[in-house]
Chain A
Amino acid sequence: MTAGAPTASWQRGKVTSWVTSTDHKRVGQLYVGTSLLFLAAGGILALLLRAQLTVHDAAFLGSGTFAKLDTVHGTTMLFLVALPLVLGLASILVPLMIGARSVAAPRALALSYWLYLLGGILLWASWFSRGGPARADFGDAASIASAAGKGEDLWLLALLLVALSFLICCGTLLLTIGGERAEGMTARRLPLYVWSAGTSAAILLVGSLVLAGAVALMLLDRNGGTHVFETAHGGGGAIAWRHAFWFFGQPAIVTLLLSTLGILAEVIPVFARRKIACYEAVRLSILAIGALGLLTWGQHLYTSDMPTWADTAFTITSLALIAPVVVILVQLAATVLGGTLTGRLETTSVTAVVAALTSLAFLALGAMTWVFLAAQPLASQTGASQFASGWFNTLVFGGGGLAVYAGLFYWWPKITGRRLDEWQGFGVVGALATGSIAAFFPQFLLGLLGMPLHAPSYGPGGVWQTLNVVSTIGAGVLGLGVAGLIANIARTALLGRRSGRDPWLGDTLEWFTESPPPEHNFDRVPVVSSSRPVHDLRERLHRPHA
């Protein structure tokens, strides 16, 4: 924005320069760093929950305590880790990939980060509130409205702040993609990651609006004497809350899925040394997934009393959403097939490649198990059980987590100017992959056996016990993987190998500038004439007479 304005001396300190920064790259790094911290915190909660569930009829955590841990874990993982992580990555990468000097509204972006951080602090501060943190199930309006103590209010406030944060961040991203593109970058030359980031920003913005409204009304119900979600006089309050919550929740899940696919659509073609098999097919599929993401929230309300016509409509749209996902997965696999993974190994990040390919496998499984949760009446048997947990975690952690991991390895040199350690990185991929299989696949089976979602304990021993033990071991391995990633980041922050502008021989504009980029991103931006501008430049340099 005002890149040339002189900064006051107090703003140039090591800490204050980060706190007062309106540089989208720094704000994005704040997002990513904070989300990793919350990942560690939420992960510890997950390990505690798994410890309780390892043995049947365990009394390690009472059902009340379990409910509190479960709520804080779930809220943290979705609102404070996954979504901010992808939004933070997008904040850093989108302007660089479209050749912009900054985001359209840098101060708004910075504000969105501080709102997110404040929301996260409020949520975790609720551990110290009277009565402890919120313990009600996300979809239970009556329980939320009537819960005693301040924990529920803090939870709602946290959600409100984070929803506002998402609103502002998504709006900024959309304005940036709309108005800050380099010359020659038409819609069909936008990188696929930018298409996915833009589409997710659009649907997350719509969803966040509804969530913010519903949460504000619930806060008023609890503290202001209103009765919006109450059902004492025959109103539809309880189900209205569910609709509002999941109207946000489904676009949130789809945002994570789209970000995953977008990252893979950048990493895989570069390391396969060819263009994506069919750009237009992936672009249209991204748009289709986004549009359907706004039309499928009802798949989380199948156990509520929806009329049969609604069940039918949501079954159709939810199943339809899986088709474009399959198209993109096939396109990515085809790109690998038609490419050369092992050419130019000195400019290949083996970790990123293996992580990306493993992510594809998890995504395939996540997409196919989605069928059982999308179609009524199948979903009545799976949706209220651990099967839903297995699906969500396979898709978002197995698929999404590994893709984000690949993206971190791929873009880390650009953002920080240093490379992450490949050997350690490779080990972490192994831990994340095997940990995900061990932790989440048993949940599919447990769900089919009848174990409910959010169960604080369970009666049957035998097979249930064995599967839960396996799942706990898997969670432990995942924890080691995450710890390994954080250790890698910490170690290479000061001692990592320095990287040049274009360590991977990439295709898109971010590889044109220095690593790390200057505050104004680009000194010069080349005119874009295809969807692979840096690849084109390299070709022209090496074959000037072509």
Chain B
Amino acid sequence: MRVARKRLTALLFASACSLVAAGTASAGNGGLAPFPPASKGASDLRHLYFYALVFAGGLCLLLVGFLGVAVLRGASGGGRIPGGRALPLVSLGLAAVVLAAVGSYSLVKLDGIKNGPKQALGVTANASSSGWAVNYPNGKTETGTLHVPVGRPVRILLASSDVAYTWWVPALGGAVDALPGRANSTWIEATKPGTYGSFDRRSPVQVVALSQPDFDAWYAQGGKK
């Protein structure tokens, strides 16, 4: 009777999980995928994410599967522990291989994704309570919007005049903080034209990616907001 109750719980849990799985699959971007990328950095991040998902997800399924088998065996009388004395080492080895695979590839890609190419158009963005004030090398300024050319890297030097702000445009890369008194930077190399926004409510920013000729035309109009 109690065994049946435990089996029922396991069944309910499994059904709940499958519902969740079905739900995630129906979520817009395929469920378990990051925001659709529109820049080189975001694309690289997405590839890295799927790579890590295979390893971490695989290990997770193994763990939960082992647990499921263990519960079913334990509930019906138990058995021999596989691997016996070697099991800790085997599990450590398996975990180490997975973590090393994810870690090594991540670290190899780290410099490229975080720092970007050396040659880039330099832009500064100063955050304050009135939003991000963007300054271009030719003297152009605008607030709350950044224009970038498709296919050319742009480096953004982030600064803050009072408190901490976060620059995060999910379509274009990872999050970076602007801390007062400190210099941080991020970079964007857009891969297709469009408007990409941050979802931050405190200091939102919109990045408008224009094709090269359109950007040159816009850039040449000095002093315009």
Determine whether the beta carbon of A371 is less than 8 Å from that of B56: yes
Contact of B45 among A319, A320, A378 (CB under 8 A): A378
Shortest C-beta distance, A543 to chain B (Å), equals: 21
Give complex CA distance A98, B27 in Å: 51
Range of interface residues on chain A? 35 or more
Contacts from B to A (Cβ < 8 Å): 2-3, 5-6, 9, 12-13, 16-17, 20, 23-24, 27-29, 31-35, 45, 48-49, 52, 55-57, 59-60, 63-64, 66-67, 69-71, 73-83, 85, 87-88, 91-92, 94-96, 99-100, 102-103, 106-107, 109-111, 113-115, 160, 162-164, 166, 168, 170-171, 173-177, 179-185, 199-202
Q: Which A residues are CB-close (under 8 A) to B180?
A: 142, 231, 238
Q: Which B residues are CB-close (under 8 A) to A470?
A: 23
> 7 A-B residue contacts at CB 8 Å?
A146-B162, A331-B88, A337-B78, A368-B57, A430-B12, A452-B200, A458-B199
Q: Which B residues are CB-close (under 8 A) to A368?
A: 56-57, 59-60, 63
Determine whether the beta carbon of B82 is less than 8 Å from that of A334: yes
Interface secondary structure of A, over-half rule: helix
Determine whether the beta carbon of B79 is less than 8 Å from that of A448: no
Determine whether the beta carbon of A452 is less than 8 Å from that of B166: yes
Contact of B179 among A239, A277, A343 (CB under 8 A): A239
Q: Which B residues are CB-close (under 8 A) to A168?
A: none
Shortest C-beta distance, A324 to chain B (Å), equals: 8
Given the interface pairs A146-B162, A384-B175, the reply to whether A239 lies near B182 with Cβ below 8 Å is yes
Give complex CA distance A183, B118 in Å: 66
Given the interface pairs A140-B164, A448-B32, the reply to whether A350 lies near B56 with Cβ below 8 Å is no
Across the interface, name the chain B residue whose C-beta is closest to A281.
B88
Q: Which B residues are CB-close (under 8 A) to A380?
A: 45, 113-114, 173-176
Indicate with 1 or 0, residue by residue over A326-343, a CB within 8 angstroms of chain B CB atoms.
110111011111111111
Q: In this assembly, does A433 line the interface, its C-beta being within 8 Å of a C-beta of chain B?
A: yes
Across the interface, name the chain A residue whose C-beta is closest to B66.
A333
Determine whether the beta carbon of B67 is less than 8 Å from that of A315: no
Q: Which A residues are CB-close (under 8 A) to B3?
A: 342
Shortest C-beta distance, A121 to chain B (Å), equals: 29
Within 8 A of B (CB), among A420-438: 426, 429-430, 433-434, 437
Q: In this assembly, does A304 line the interface, its C-beta being within 8 Å of a C-beta of chain B?
A: yes
Indicate with 1 or 0, residue by residue over A376-394, a CB within 8 angstroms of chain B CB atoms.
1111110111000000000
Give complex CA distance A364, B181 in Å: 40
